[in-house]
Amino acid sequence: MTPTPTPGSALFRSPPPHTLVAPSILSADFGRLADDCIAVVESGADLLHVDVMDGHFVPNLSLGPAVCAAIRRHLPDVVIDVHLMVSRPSKYLEPFARAGADHLTVHCEVEDSAASLAESIRALGCSPGLAMNPDTPVDAILSDIEAFDLALIMSVHPGFSGQAFIPEVLSKAVDLRARFGDELRIEIDGGVSPVTAPACREAGCDILVSGSSVFGSKDRAADITAIRGG
């Protein structure tokens, strides 16, 4: 059966008209999660980034499909970008797709086959992404990346928000943009702020994830605009 793509998955399939800003809800007030998500969308966020951690792939636990489903209930039209920092992503693709995800990113460092993960994600109607940790060389994803819509470059060691941006990873974005042109979405995640965003855009990143900088801002609309570059 041909899967029906979610409306939001289309965002990842072609070059966006401008840099997209994706606040990471890991930095939201979990006690007021829906209100905080609505507030960043009303402040100009293009999509919401949902960080899923299993306490095994990374040394932290975060949230599961029920939280994703709650965001979907409160924000029926928002594009939900799920970042699976888990050792066995194959177990969680369908639960997150059912919970309303539009996009699912898995890590290249896990044992599950990247090619079959991409196929499963598409079969669920979502757009697939492949992430790499700061110490993982870009070569590690080259043989698989054409099965995906997006490469996610981690610019901090995954597990926690509020860490310092690692500028050395930007050369991976330059390399991927030179190899794949506009065909590939390049997302960068970790330590992105109005200060570090210009270098990310210049390196070719078109989706900028920002957690603590956006949710902790006194003027979220201004900071989202600054991260986007206007």
Contact 197, 229 (CB under 8 A): yes
Calpha distance 195→203 (Å, rounded): 14
Tokens coding 220 = 């979220």
What H or E segment, with its residue span, contains residue 60?
none
Residue 163 binds which entry of Zn ion, ligand DX5, none, with Cβ cut-offs from 5 to 8 Å by kind?
A: ligand DX5
Nearer residue to Zn ion within complex by CB, 128 or 143: 128
Cβ 4 to Zn ion shortest distance, Å = 26
Q: Does 54 bind Zn ion (CB under 5 A)?
A: no
Residue 26 binds which entry of ligand DX5, Zn ion, none, with Cβ cut-offs from 5 to 8 Å by kind?
A: ligand DX5
Nearer residue to ligand DX5 within complex by CB, 26 or 126: 26
Question: What is the CB-side half-sphere exposure of residue 229 using CA atoms within 13 A?
Answer: 17
Q: Does 103 bind Zn ion (CB under 5 A)?
A: no
Residue 52 binds which entry of ligand DX5, Zn ion, none, with Cβ cut-offs from 5 to 8 Å by kind?
A: none
- Respond yes or no: is residue 51 known to be catalytic: yes
Residues at the site binding ligand DX5, with contacts judged by CB under 6 A: 24, 26-27, 49, 51, 83, 156, 158-159, 161-163, 189-192, 209-213
Contact 123, 99 (CB under 8 A): no
- Out of 46, 51, 187, 223, which residue is the one contacting Zn ion (CB under 5 A)? 51
Calpha distance 137→26 (Å, rounded): 26
- Respond yes or no: is residue 139 known to be catalytic: no
Which residues does 104 contact at the CB level (< 8 Å), separation at least 6? 82, 84, 89, 93, 96, 97, 121, 124, 126, 127, 128, 129
Cβ 223 to ligand DX5 shortest distance, Å = 11
Active site residues: 51, 189
Chain residues in the site for Zn ion (CB under 5 A): 51, 83, 189
